[in-house]
Amino acid sequence: MESIIKGKPVADKISENLIKEVEELKAKGINPKLSIVRVGAKGGDLAYERGALKRCEKIGIITEVKEFPESITQEEYINELKKLNEDSSTHGILCFRPLPKHLSEEQIKYVISPEKDVDCFSPVNAAKVMEGDKSGYPPCTPTAVVEILKHYDVELSGKKVAVLGRSMVVGKPAAMLLLNENATVTICHSRTKDLATVTSEADVLVAAVGRARMVKENFVKEGAVVIDVGINVDEDGKLCGDVDTDAVKDKVSMITPVPAGVGSVTTSVLAKHIVKACKMQNNA
Ligand code: NDP
């Protein structure tokens, strides 16, 4: 019964539109640019960075990577970030998080310019997600979730949506973005009682728990749409999502795969945010 809904067509559609927008900007002498700020060289950061650089290149967005050693001090990091805030050739800044423990995210998140903060590090952008203010930059992954649902014409208004996970990176903002689409949203987490009963009432289930194949057949409603945000490595070293796809596939109507699902849309959303930031900063 299931239909696998891949991320690539969604990412390609977003990219196609952006290529045109970037061409128009370049014709006016405006060159959109992303600056990535990375401390150390964690595997996950490098994998995401490669994807982001490739996506930006395809769209025509200039990129630079500011790589710093783990020994960077709080003051040095803040100074580097302030330089990027002030550099008018940079329109979007992506700071890889979590930062090493000796750097205070609580302080640094107030330093990044909200106008250049393309992945919702700044509390100003987090507040805009809460307010449903579309002038800001919600985090790329939950935005990718909404883009996928819209691309595949999944009705959200008035529908029951369960979001499994309440992190500031995925779960909470995903819930707010879906609420902004007029869904009736339930947020589930590690203390939720009778979890499977709650999630199995949902028309749309978004899984962002970080637990390999935790979502089984009894977690989903017949005909539900399932968006699997999880990126996990199972005991055999295989990449998998939070949903046990084999176990639920005969029950759901649509499900995103892992890999090739949400992850592939995230970098397109990042590019969309950079172009939007560039336009706003140039009144273009
Ligand atoms: P976090 O670890 O920050 O949050 C996990 C959430 O899941 C928490 O809210 C936690 O609840 C909840 N949770 C954990 N275990 C259970 C359980 N047994 N039952 C119910 N709830 C549970 O993870 P992230 O939000 O950062 O990421 C979630 C997943 O998404 C990960 O697999 C991550 O790799 C992936 N990811 C994918 C991206 C993409 O582009 N596709 C980008 C970012 C993340 P509580 O708050 O109570 O502890």
Instruction: Let me know whether 169 and 246 are in one domain.
Output: yes
What is the extent of the structural domain holding 256? Answer: 140-263
CA of 124 to the centre of ligand 1 (A): 23
- Indicate whether 259 and 164 sit together in one domain: yes
How far away, in angstroms, is 206 Cα from ligand 1 center? 11
Residues 218 and 155 in one domain: yes
Q: Whose CA is nearest to atom 42 of ligand 1?
A: 141
Q: Report how far apart, in Å, the C-alpha atoms of 30 and of each of 22, 139, 147, 276 are.
A: 9, 25, 27, 13
Mutate to test the pocket of ligand 1, among 226, 231, 270 (most ligand atoms within 8 A of CB): 231
Would you say 167 is a known binding-site residue? Answer: yes
Residues 237, 149, single domain; the answer is: yes
Domain-located, residue 121: no
Question: Residues 108, 163: one domain?
Answer: no
Instruction: Please tell me the predicted confidence (pLDDT) of residue 106.
Output: 97
Q: Is 3 annotated as a binding residue?
A: no
Looking at the structure, do residues 83 and 150 belong to the same domain, yes or no?
no
- Answer yes or no: are the C-beta atoms of 73 and 101 closer than 8 Å: no
Q: How would you write the pLDDT of the chain (284 residues) with one tens digit per residue?
A: 569 999 999 999 999 999 999 999 999 999 999 999 999 999 999 999 999 999 999 999 999 999 999 999 999 999 999 999 999 999 999 999 999 999 999 999 999 999 999 999 999 999 999 999 999 999 999 999 999 999 999 999 999 999 999 999 999 999 999 999 999 999 999 999 999 999 999 999 999 999 999 999 999 999 999 999 999 999 999 999 999 999 999 999 999 999 999 999 999 999 999 999 999 999 99
Both 92 and 147 in one domain: the answer is no
Q: What is the pLDDT of residue 256?
A: 98
210 C-alpha to ligand 1 centroid (Å): 4
Rounded to a whole number of angstroms, the distance between the first and last alpha carbons of the chain is 46
Q: Answer yes or no: is 269 within a domain.
A: no
Q: Is residue 76 a part of any domain in this protein?
A: yes
The predicted complex's ipTM stands at: 0.98
Distance CA 258, CA 241 (A): 5
Same domain, 148 and 258: yes
Asked if the structure places residue 53 within a domain, the reply is: yes
Q: How far is the CA of 207 from the centre of ligand 1 (A)?
A: 8
Instruction: For Cα atoms 165, 171, 175, give the angle at the middle one, nearest 5 degrees.
Output: 120
My answer on whether 108 and 212 are in the same domain is no
Domain contains 202:
yes
213 is in an annotated binding site: no
